[in-house]
Amino acid sequence: TVYKDQQEAAEEIAQQIGTIIKLKQEKGENAVLGLATGATPVEVYARLVRMHKEEGLSFKNVITFNLDEYYPMQPDAKQSYVAFMDEQLFNHVDIDRKNIHIPDGTLAAEEIAGYCLSYEHKIEEVGGLDLQILGIGRTGHIGFNEPGSAPNSGTRLVTLDDLTRRDAARDFGGKENVPTKAITMGIGTIFKAKEIILMAWSKKKASIIKKAVEGEISGNVPATYLQLSDNVKFVLDEDAASEL
Ligand code: GLP
């Protein structure tokens, strides 16, 4: 779906998330949301905060799993995805902190594999993701599944692509300060979500969106794997869709 601009698109996605939360509330069930970081979802989160404050949308029944976190990363560092999520969403709504899951960037190397398995199990234990929202990196990554990721990959430690680290350089005051690794949900983890929405705005994303939507399905552009799913929607603004 192509919207005139990011504002219209974000409004639509926030409404959709609000509807899932409310439908689940009516049934006395939890809404399980897969969340993303980066500049792309910021407007969606801002609208959800507004829906909480102005319309009384409650997050009491919401369980969240974030896609990824840099490794190593302290949760209180300003570049952490923990800090990002608190700032953009969690500090402003009534979510129960125990329902928030973000990959742990503080683990010792030998703890990571077990932790990643338990992350997958936790998602399954609460019934799986009702919705996963995604941005897209210029390498075609979703989460931090860089080129070379397998379609059935699970949550794991990955090495970041040079372009991804360059794109993150501003947040870290130079590429040399950007961690070389991250913990990310896998493509396989993302695929298990009942619904997936990939969002992209601006001309900067137009060429990778063309590849993701129209390109050959290949591990060289992990987002092309989304072409294999019937549960995926690409939500774009006119600029991001301009090369389609
Ligand atoms: C990071 C995140 C991705 C995100 C990408 C795009 O790499 N791990 O989940 O999609 O950035 O970022 P932005 O939305 O700022 O363009």
What are the chain's domains?
2-157+184-237 (3.40.50.1360)
Query: Sorting pLDDT into bands at 50, 70 and 90, what band is 156?
Result: very high
pLDDT in tens, 45-100: 999 999 999 999 999 999 999 999 999 999 999 999 999 999 999 999 999 999 99
Q: Average model confidence (pLDDT) for the chain?
A: 98
pLDDT, residue 236, reads: 98
Half-sphere exposure of 86 (CA within 13 A, CB side): 10
Q: Is 146 a catalytic residue?
A: yes
State both tokens at 147.
């080129």
Task: Look at residue 197 in the predicted model and tell me its pLDDT.
Answer: 98
Neighbours of 175 (CB within 10 A): 13
What was the pLDDT predicted at 98? 98
- Residue 202: predicted pLDDT: 97
Ordered strands of the 196-200 beta sheet: 2-3, 232-237, 196-200, 131-134, 31-35, 62-66, 100-101
pTM for this model (two decimals):
0.98
What's the pLDDT band for 9 if we cut at 50, 70, 90? very high
Distances (CA, A) of 173 to 23, 78, 81, 86: 43, 12, 16, 21
> Comparing C-alpha atoms, which of 18, 76, 15, 65 is closest to residue 37?
65
Question: 27 C-alpha to center of ligand 1: Å?
Answer: 33
Residue tagged 């560092």 (tokens): 77
Per-residue pLDDT band for 232 (boundaries 50, 70, 90) equals: very high
**Ligand 1 lining (C-beta closer than 6 Å):** 36-40, 67-68, 135-137, 143-144, 164
